[in-house]
Amino acid sequence: MAAPSRMPRHDVRNDGTGPYAIFYCDKCGREFRSTPSVADSIAKGVGRQALGGLLRNVPIFGDALADNAGQDPRYTYNLTTQQLDAAWGQVKEHFRECPTCNQIVCLSDFDEQSGFCADDSPRKDQIAEARGEQAGAALKGLASAFGLGGVIQQASDAAQKAATSMARCPKDGTVAAPGTKFCPECGAAMVQPAAAVCPKCGAQTSGAKFCPECGAKLEAPAPAGVCPKCGTQTQGAKFCPNCGNKM
């Protein structure tokens, strides 16, 4: 992979050992720091001290000249162009340039397989799914460490059970009450949840869409008080207040 064509956002800092540069990822802001030249700072500091000692022996103006005998690298906050280039050379292997958005991003925000940043990658959905799985695994590990594994599992089972008992839009993922025929968001035909038991022959379906015994199409009936046509709460009315369907 070719190196980025330019430096990303950066600034210069000094912790008392000499100036160094920090480069930031354009997407997540992650920092990558160069290493200050400690040996160079020591050498310059010793040289400055020696030069200052010699200048103080100059009559009248010696003290003033000594105080201005070069900047102490321990307290400077600037780098020359050559020093900045050298600092960038230390960390640029951790960056990539996206050919679509031209942002300079760290490896965590870059898809090496496709050669694009994670947001512009053709594998964006796969990357998002993988990150979701990683986050879920990390959450489970943290919950287990605090003795909350059983609580997390119960919540997950309850959410999964609720999702499988609802009608779902195949286009945008909207869920609604069983029996809702059209998505309240986009109007697409809803996919109905499968019944646990075939209403025609009584066979166990194990979540199948068609009965394994008689082949009947399996859909969970709408709960009482919900219009089977549009999913509106009817509150005991004989006709749906939204679509007029006879209950």
pLDDT tens digits, one per residue of 148-157: 666 666 766 6
- What global pTM score does this model have? 0.47
Range of the domain at 187: 164-247
Closest CA to 171 of 154, 190, 147, 196: 190
pLDDT of residue 27: 93
pLDDT of residue 82: 93
pLDDT of residue 129: 80
For 87-112, what is the mean pLDDT? 94
* Bridge partner list, 226: 233
* Domain-embedded: residue 127: no
* Bridge partner list, 12: 21
Listed in sequence order, the DSSP H helices in 56-188 are 62-67, 81-91, 124-145, 149-164
How remote is the C-alpha of 12 from its chain's centroid?
A: 28
* Domain-embedded: residue 147: no
pLDDT of residue 11: 94
> Is the same domain home to 109 and 170?
no
In the predicted structure, residue 23 carries a pLDDT above the cut 80: yes
> Is the same domain home to 111 and 14?
yes
In the predicted structure, residue 238 carries a pLDDT above the cut 60: yes
Query: For the segment 209-225, what is each residue's pLDDT rounded down to a tens digit?
Result: 677 788 887 665 555 56
Which of residues 57, 91, 117 is at a domain's end?
A: 117
* Domain-embedded: residue 112: yes
Angular region, 173: left φ>0, alpha ψ -120 to 50, beta rest: left
Q: How many Å apart are CA 118 and CA 125, to the nearest integer?
A: 9
Query: For the segment 158-192, what is each residue's pLDDT rounded down to a tens digit?
Result: 655 555 667 778 788 788 877 778 888 888 888 77
* Residue 24 parent element (H or E): strand 19-24
Lowest mean pLDDT: which of 3-7, 133-137, 202-206? 202-206
> Is the same domain home to 20 and 102?
yes
Q: What's the total number of domains in the chain?
A: 2
Angle at 116 between CA 114 and CA 117, to 5 degrees: 130
